[in-house]
């Protein structure tokens, strides 16, 4: 029998965290594909990483500071130009609170 | 020979000598686009009108003797670079109508150097793919065989250069997305060191891996384009303030006395025999050019794919959280409330591969799994980088195949994500270690498909990479063929 790394319920939970939703058939396909991918990743447990510092970036750079000076920025009408819906100086969204 | 077939440096010589004009070159390129684009489909958006205007301006400048590094040369941009006033989709429905209010730093630099932009090229959605089949805007075809894929994710840029639909092009490389399509389309493709080129205005996929680079017809053109785009950018805090040499100075220096490492882990079962034979021939050529080739070992190579498919999706799931239908791009209709709008927008706006990676990344970063996946992968990544640090104490450069197979057929791997991921097996380690790599053509299969050879070097050694690539190009004397379109 194939090993189960992730169940349909877990996929549904992760989908919610990622703000995605799937239909029944799509959910089945994703669960099986994610399971295959996660099984492949089990390979990583073969490697002894005791005491190895995790690497986050390829080029070691310390804090990239710059001086705190005001520079040009986009005017709000340009910032809003791509908005699916806007009113006044704001992005418009469906209601958040009942 | 038609103008659209020529290289950047040959056209520059012709422009300087007054033998042609940017208007003529640009017209030649668009004539070629009119003839072949219906079959190749390399572009998402063509910029014909603005290109002709830019060409006219370039010709005015040339008349006055004001020739910049790229004045009047028609170039294509992957549709992942923000271009002010020109739609930028990243191959996705969710950005199908996005018009950036600013230019990426690289675009600014190219404009300042006098380039003419032909258009925005097709790509796998959000650069996630190895075949340019996941684009919302359709599949790009390989100019060498229209039934095959051009590679990916920057498949449109590679195909456009191979087909003569631009003089050179730009792409982005997160796990091989410049080098693999360059190999499959028979052109030169270079991924610089992480931090060498500013990513400002490059739509983010995996921020610790993404890097910008050129597609060209020869190595000299790659050096010319690197001279324009490399360098520190105060707007991009991971760009590195290292001095930028004149990359053209490295060309023609030769590689006598060099030590070139051949990593034994890159000649594995599953590699196409014709690809292996071509790469083995390339080793002989490098030796004839005066280098000593030695077998080396990068023992953690077999873990690269697993590390990459934790780290890249983890970073992607975070980067792509911004596509929520609020500030720009696609928004779903008839939303009950905000949460419903987020879910409907993202579910309809993203394609299957992007959703798959967002799901993997979200899972790998979620509470209870972070240590087992993301932290573990980041530790193994450190070991992969150590492997490279160690071999570069003995070797000036490494030589490997770029991709395990030549171009595969459209639809061949779309149902099996793991098979698709394996086509990046020789390019991924470079991004994990942050080192530069270049793919150069090294011959053809018996069926007439191009094969690519990859050189790798240590951090910020782009000059030496171009040096060995140009030495190989000169000694190998690879037959100059053109796709029959």
What is the band of B430 on the pLDDT scale with cuts at 50, 70, 90? very high
> By three-state DSSP, how is residue B275 classified?
helix
Q: How many domains does chain B divide into?
A: 1
pLDDT of res. B373:
95
Residues of A in contact with B370 (CB under 8 A): none
Is pLDDT at B456 greater than 50 in this prediction?
A: yes
Q: What is the pLDDT of residue A1?
A: 44
User: What is chain A's mean pLDDT, rounded?
Assistant: 91
Cα separation, B194 vs B310, whole angstroms? 19
| B61 classed as catalytic | no
Q: What is the number of domains present in chain A?
A: 1
Q: Is residue A31 one of the residues assigned to a domain?
A: yes
Tell me which DSSP letter residue B291 carries.
Answer: P
Rounded Cα gap, residues B135 and B219, in angstroms:
29
Cβ atoms of residues B116 and B76 within 8 Å: no
Residue B330 has pLDDT above 70, yes or no: yes
The answer as to whether A73 is a domain residue is: no
Pick the range with the lowest mean pLDDT from A33-42, B101-110, B384-393. Answer: A33-42
The string of DSSP letters for B196-252 reads SB--TTBPPS-TTT-EEEEEESSHHHHHHHHHHHBS--TT-TTS--PPPP-GGGGTT
Give the pLDDT of residue A2: 62
Is residue B154 situated within a structural domain?
Answer: yes
**What integer pLDDT is reported at residue B478 of this predicted model?**
85
Tell whether B212 is within 8 A of chain A (Cβ).
Answer: no
Does A47 contact B338 at a Cβ distance shorter than 8 Å? no
Residue B155 sits in a domain of what CATH number? 3.90.1300.10
Residue B180 inside a domain? The answer is yes
Give me the mean pLDDT over the B155-168 stretch.
98
The yes-or-no verdict on residue B376 having pLDDT over 50 is yes
Catalytic choice (B78, B109, B120, B217): B78
pLDDT at B420: 87
Mean pLDDT of chain B: 97
The DSSP element (H or E) to which B397 belongs, if any, is strand B397-401
Please report whether residue B303 resides in a domain.
Answer: no
CB contacts of B343 in chain A (<8 Å) are 19-21
Alpha-helical (H) ranges within B79-141 are 105-112
For the segment B214-264, what is each residue's pLDDT rounded down to a tens digit? 999 999 999 999 999 999 999 999 999 999 999 999 999 999 999 999 999
Q: How many CB atoms lie within 10 A of CB B195?
A: 23
Q: Determine whether the interchain pair A14/B309 forms a contact, defined as Cβ–Cβ distance below 8 Å.
A: no
Rg of the Cα trace of chain A? 23
Assess if residue B452 is contained within a domain: no
Q: Quick one: which H or E segment has residue B65?
A: none
- Quick check: is B305 in a domain? no
Tell me the residue range of the domain where A38 lies: 1-46
Res B143: pLDDT: 98
Q: Among residues A57, A60, A39, which one has the least CA distance to residue B378?
A: A57
Stretch B361-380: mean pLDDT, rounded?
94
Give the pLDDT score at A98. 66
Contact B462, B411 (CB under 8 A): no
Q: pLDDT at residue A97 above 90?
A: no
> Any idea which of A62-76, B207-221, B443-457 has the lowest mean pLDDT?
A62-76
Q: Encode pLDDT of B263-275 as tens digits.
A: 999 998 789 999 9
Of B177, B172, B187, B182, the C-alpha closest to B104 is B172
- Residue B318 has a pLDDT of 97
Whole-number pLDDT of residue A67: 86
Q: Which of B178, B188, B150 is nearest to B43 (CA)?
A: B150
Confidence of residue B110 (pLDDT cuts 50, 70, 90): very high
Whether B98 and chain A come into contact, CB under 8 Å, resolves to: yes
Q: Give the pLDDT of residue B272.
A: 95
Q: Which percentage of chain B shows pLDDT scores above 90?
A: 95
Q: Which of B303, B325, B337 sits opposite A84 (nearest CB)?
A: B325
Give the residue-averaged pLDDT of A72-80: 92
* pTM (2 d.p.): 0.97
CA angle B272/B222/B462 to nearest 5° reads 85
Beta-carbon separation of A64 and B237 below 8 A = yes
Per-residue pLDDT for B421 more than 90?
no
Say yes or no to pLDDT of B71 above 90.
yes
pLDDT-based confidence at A60, cuts 50/70/90?
A: confident
Residue B247 in domain: yes
Asked if B306 and B377 touch (Cβ cutoff 8 Å), the reply is: yes
Residue B318 inside a domain? The answer is no
Residue B288, class by beta-carbon neighbours within 10 Å (0-12 exposed, 13-18 middle, 19+ buried)?
Answer: exposed
Confidence class of residue A59 from pLDDT cuts 50, 70 and 90? Answer: confident
CATH for A19: 1.10.20.60
Residue B265, domain member (yes or no): no
Q: Measured between CB atoms, does B468 come within 8 Å of chain A?
A: no
Chain-chain contact of B359 with A44 (C-beta, under 8 angstroms): no
| Domain containing residue B156 | 3-256
ipTM: 0.95
Q: Give B344-350's long-range contacts (Cβ < 8 A, gap of 24+).
A: B344/A21, B345/B94, B346/A18, B346/A19, B346/A20, B346/B94, B347/A20, B347/A21, B347/A22, B348/B93, B349/B92, B349/B93, B349/B94, B349/B323, B349/B325, B350/A20, B350/B92, B350/B93, B350/B94, B350/B125, B350/B320, B350/B323
Residues 6+ apart with CB under 8 A from B154: B78, B121, B123, B127, B132, B169, B171, B172, B173, B177, B178, B181, B189, B215
Report the distance separating Cα A85 and Cα A79, nearest Å. 12
φ, ψ for residue B138 (rounded to 5)?
Answer: 100, 175
């Amino acid at each position: 029998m194939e090993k189960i790394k992730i169940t349909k319920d877990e996929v549904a939970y992760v989908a919610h965290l990622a703000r995605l939703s799937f239909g029944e058939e799509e959910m089945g396909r994703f669960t099986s594909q994610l399971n295959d991918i996660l099984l492949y990743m089990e390979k990583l447990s073969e490697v002894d990483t005791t005491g190895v510092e995790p690497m986050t970036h390829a080029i070691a750079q310390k804090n990239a500071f710059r001086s705190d000076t005001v520079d040009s920025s986009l005017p709000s009408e340009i910032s809003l130009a791509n908005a699916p819906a806007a009113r006044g100086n704001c992005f418009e969204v469906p209601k958040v609170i009942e | 020979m038609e103008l659209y077939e020529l290289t950047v440096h040959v056209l520059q010589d012709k422009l300087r000598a007054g033998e042609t004009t940017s208007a003529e070159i640009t017209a030649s390129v668009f004539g070629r686009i009119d003839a072949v684009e219906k079959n190749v489909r390399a572009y998402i958006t063509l910029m014909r009108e603005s290109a002709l205007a830019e060409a006219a301006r370039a010709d005015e400048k040339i008349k006055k003797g004001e020739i910049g590094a790229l004045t009047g040369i028609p170039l294509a941009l992957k549709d992942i670079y923000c271009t002010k006033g020109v739609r930028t989709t990243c191959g996705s429905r969710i950005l199908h109508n996005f018009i950036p209010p600013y230019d990426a730093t690289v675009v600014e630099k190219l404009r300042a150097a006098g380039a003419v932009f032909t258009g925005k090229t097709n790509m796998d959605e959000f650069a996630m793919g190895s075949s340019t089949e996941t684009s919302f805007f359709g599949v790009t075809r390989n100019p060498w065989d229209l039934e095959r894929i051009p590679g990916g994710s920057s498949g449109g840029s590679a195909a456009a250069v191979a087909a003569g639909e631009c003089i050179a092009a730009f792409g982005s490389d997160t796990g091989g997305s410049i080098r693999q399509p360059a190999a499959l389309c028979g052109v030169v493709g270079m991924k610089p060191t992480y931090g060498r080129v500013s990513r400002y205005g490059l739509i983010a996929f995996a921020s610790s891996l993404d890097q910008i680079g050129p597609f060209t017809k020869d190595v000299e053109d790659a050096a010319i384009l690197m001279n324009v785009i490399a360098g520190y950018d105060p707007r991009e805090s991971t760009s590195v303030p290292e001095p930028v040499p004149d990359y053209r100075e490295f060309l023609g220096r030769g590689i006598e006395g060099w030590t070139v490492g051949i990593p034994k882990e890159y000649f594995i079962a599953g590699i196409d025999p014709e690809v292996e034979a071509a790469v083995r021939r390339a080793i002989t050529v490098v030796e004839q050019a005066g280098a000593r080739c030695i077998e080396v070992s990068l023992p953690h190579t077999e873990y690269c794919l697993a590390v990459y498919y934790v780290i890249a999706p983890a970073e992607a799931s975070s980067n792509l959280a911004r596509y929520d239908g609020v500030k720009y791009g696609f928004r779903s209709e008839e939303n009950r409330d905000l949460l419903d709008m987020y879910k409907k927008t993202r579910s309809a706006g993203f394609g299957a591969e992007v959703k798959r990676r967002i799901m993997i990344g979200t899972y790998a970063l979620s509470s209870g799994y972070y240590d087992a996946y993301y932290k573990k992968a980041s530790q193994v990544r450190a070991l992969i980088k150590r492997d490279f640090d160690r071999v570069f104490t003995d070797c000036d450069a490494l030589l490997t195949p770029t991709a395990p197979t030549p171009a595969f057929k459209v639809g061949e791997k779309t149902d099996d994500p793991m098979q698709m991921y394996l086509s990046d097996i020789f390019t991924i380690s470079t991004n994990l270690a942050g080192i530069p790599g270049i793919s150069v053509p090294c011959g053809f299969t018996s069926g007439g498909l191009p094969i690519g050879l990859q050189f790798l070097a240590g951090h910020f050694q782009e000059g030496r990479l171009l040096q060995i690539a140009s030495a190989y190009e000169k000694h190998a004397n690879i037959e100059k063929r053109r796709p029959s379109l």
